[in-house]
Amino acid sequence: MAMKTVQLNTATIGPESWRNASLKAIKLSQNIVGRSDKACDLGRSMDPVPQLRDTVGQLSNDEIHRYVRETRVVVAKLRESMLDTNEEIKMLTRGKEALEKALEHKRKDIKLNRESSDIRVSRPAREKDIDGADDLLGAERMHLLNLKRMLEAQLKLVQQQLQVLDVARKRLAATIQERSRVLDLVCHALSSVANTTVQHTNNGRMSVNGYMGSTPLPPRVDPIGPFTPEAEISLNEASDARNRSGMLRRELKDLIDRTEQLQQSAHKSVNDGLTRKIGETATLKQHLQVGAGENRHSIHRAQRWYDATERAWGYTRGPVTTSDLTTRERLDRPLVKIYQRHPGTQLPEAQLIVKGGDGLLDSLTATSRNIGLLKLAQLKLKEDIRDKKSAMDVDSSIYRLRRRKANHRWVMGEAF
């Protein structure tokens, strides 16, 4: 409102002071009116509206809703990380069980190797010389011990990683519990967080697509905000633990496959060595049997010759009593007596008979000695055949034992 200036006639009859006092009062009133109008205009633009309480309450509610929604996003991410950590623990636990099973198989293989070596000790003394099968068993034992140490070291790493994952899971659970304290009045469904789609992967786990794209985590870490440093540390620690666990699982699988292949290769080489030794023993046994047959045939020939020579020696010696001698066998038969009437007509008949008897006796002695040697050789051949058969039975029993226990479906009975 424009203020109008009061114009008065200068020609007055009233006193000057009286007129000035009135004018002063008018000016003062006009100044106050202008100031009041300005204050009203300023109040219209600056003063709170009448519904201040409702407006402030609505703003507070909006701030609370924003904070709660962001906290719900953080909690959803923490729960997703916890689910992934749980699945990683399950998979690593299954890997640990597979590793323990492989380690048990290696212990059984070591026990089977020791049983095979102990059984080979029961071979006859003739067959106890160290051979290629013993070398293969020793090499297999050293190989299995190295594999056992490798699996035990890997098992220790797996157990330590499981402890790390458990610590990360507990920290996530504590952080989720702490962050979830302000989510009592909101829906916790993941679909309500970011309109995400849930898909099932091949291993049965749920993956949330579009989670980080449509509703990302708060851009900065705030100690008094939704995304606290503890939440970030929990997420990073769990992610690092899962990554290390995934690498460890891959190494674990490769190690189990490699040790299984190496064990099977060593087991096959020992079985092949035992098979070759059994074949060689069987071949030697057959040659020994042929030799024993030839020796027995030679004994029979020598015995027949001994009998014939003994009979010839008996014929050469003549009858036991002189009364049994015929006239033609006597050295003083009539024909000889007539011949010896002249001097220098001595006959070598007696010397030749004695010499022939001595030769036959020497032949009997030599034949008897040869028969004894042949019989001794026959005994050695039979003993060797018996030892070869025993050694072959021992190696065959070891081979059958290793074939029977190759599937590891047996109980060790004691710690090894």
Q: pLDDT tens across 247-292, in order?
A: 999 999 999 999 999 999 999 999 999 999 999 999 999 999 999 9
The reply to whether 335 and 360 lie within a common domain is yes
193 band by pLDDT with thresholds 50, 70 and 90 = low
CA 239/CA 248 separation, integer angstroms = 14
The reply to whether 212 and 120 lie within a common domain is yes
| Number of domains observed in the structure of the chain | 2
* pLDDT value of residue 225: 86
Domain at 246, CATH number: 1.20.1260
The reply to whether 267 and 295 lie within a common domain is no
345 band by pLDDT with thresholds 50, 70 and 90 = low
pLDDT tens string 216-256 = 777 688 888 888 999 999 999 999 999 999 999 999 999 99
Q: Which long-range contacts (CB under 8 A, 24 or more apart) does 277-284 make?
A: 277/131, 277/132, 277/133, 277/395, 278/392, 278/395, 278/396, 278/399, 281/127, 281/388, 281/391, 281/392, 281/395, 282/388, 282/392, 284/388
The reply to whether 179 and 245 lie within a common domain is yes
The reply to whether 338 and 302 lie within a common domain is yes
The reply to whether 264 and 230 lie within a common domain is yes
Share of the chain above pLDDT 70, in %: 84
Distances, alpha carbon 12 to alpha carbons 7, 25, 68, in Å: 13, 18, 79
pLDDT at 42 over 90: no
414 band by pLDDT with thresholds 50, 70 and 90 = low
197 band by pLDDT with thresholds 50, 70 and 90 = very low
* pLDDT value of residue 190: 57
CA 185/CA 61 separation, integer angstroms = 12
Sign of CA dihedral 158, 161, 167, 170: negative
Is residue 129 domain-resident? yes
CA 260/CA 266 separation, integer angstroms = 10
Is residue 44 domain-resident? no
* pLDDT value of residue 211: 42
For 103, the domain range is 61-275
Is residue 89 domain-resident? yes
> What does the pLDDT average to over 321-332?
68
The reply to whether 200 and 334 lie within a common domain is no
Mean pLDDT across the chain: 84
pLDDT tens string 65-105 = 999 988 999 999 999 999 999 999 999 999 999 999 999 99
Q: What is the DSSP string of 97-110?
A: HHHHHHHHHHHHHH
203 band by pLDDT with thresholds 50, 70 and 90 = very low
> Which residue is listed with tokens 């070869």?
388
Confirm if 412 and 323 have CB atoms less than 8 A apart.
no
The reply to whether 306 and 248 lie within a common domain is no
Sign of CA dihedral 204, 235, 174, 196: negative
CA 277/CA 280 separation, integer angstroms = 5
Q: Put residue 207 in one of left, alpha, beta given phi > 0 → left and psi -120 to 50 → alpha.
A: beta
